[in-house]
Amino acid sequence: MDASVQELLDLEWRLFDAAPQAGQRSAQFEDREQFIITRSAQLAAWSPELLKSWREDLRSAQAEGRNPINEKYIYMLERVDPEQYAALKSDLPEASLEKLWLVDWICQAQVVWQEALQKKYPRITQNSRAIHRSADNQDSVSFETFVRSELMTYSVCTLRLYARKVEKAQKAGENLCETILENTVRQLGFDSLETANSNMIRADQT
């Protein structure tokens, strides 16, 4: 594993483990191993510049006494528990118009990719989050809300680099959500998404 990715994983895990809202809102990570698989699959798809900028974001936040991982779960509350969000939103940093625009643009690109991914690999993604935030409720957070909430914790500098990465992928006809899922299934022992999908089909038929 790339050293910069490993450093970020260690830092993110410490912040996640210390985030009170994470324990309440996330059923995704039951232990550190699961966290590492999920996050390393995403971070491995990032550029070195993006990894460096996000690492600097986390370090700056720590120096200010903030926990961006906890902030991500607070942002989610706006959709799934408005009353609790109202009680906690004063802990969130103010967002500029540029940041809000970048978050919206990147999030919509990710939603389009996730829609395509679920159509292409229905077996692998059948237990994934609902895509659109219209499906949000107190028991379930959509892919759109999860992504948007995470993006809100990034600095404008990091978001600019992320937008550049997204735009480059779009022009090349790539799907970053597919890249991340492929990174995930390879960690689980499959040599490709096609192999993972076909294995799930055979399992359903037995």
Residue 102 to residue 159: CA distance in whole angstroms: 6
Question: Residue 175: how many CA atoms within 13 Å on its side-chain side?
Answer: 15
Q: What is the mean pLDDT of residues 154-164?
A: 98
pLDDT for the residue numbered 179: 96
Q: pLDDT digit string (tens) for 164-186? A: 999 999 999 999 999 999 999 99
Residue 18 to residue 49: CA distance in whole angstroms: 27
pLDDT for the residue numbered 83: 93
Give yes or no for a contact between 16 and 35, defined as CB atoms under 8 angstroms apart.
yes
Locus of tokens 């109202």: 86
pLDDT of 140 strictly over 90:
no
Residue 176 to residue 196: CA distance in whole angstroms: 18
Q: Any residues with CB less than 8 A from the CB of 199 and at least 6 apart, and which?
A: 190
pLDDT of 40 strictly over 70:
yes
Measured between alpha carbons, how far is residue 97 from residues 100, 111, 152, 157 in Å? 5, 21, 12, 14
Share of the chain above pLDDT 70, in %: 91
Question: Residue 173: how many CA atoms within 13 Å on its side-chain side?
Answer: 0
Could you tell me the residue ranges of all domains in the chain?
3-205
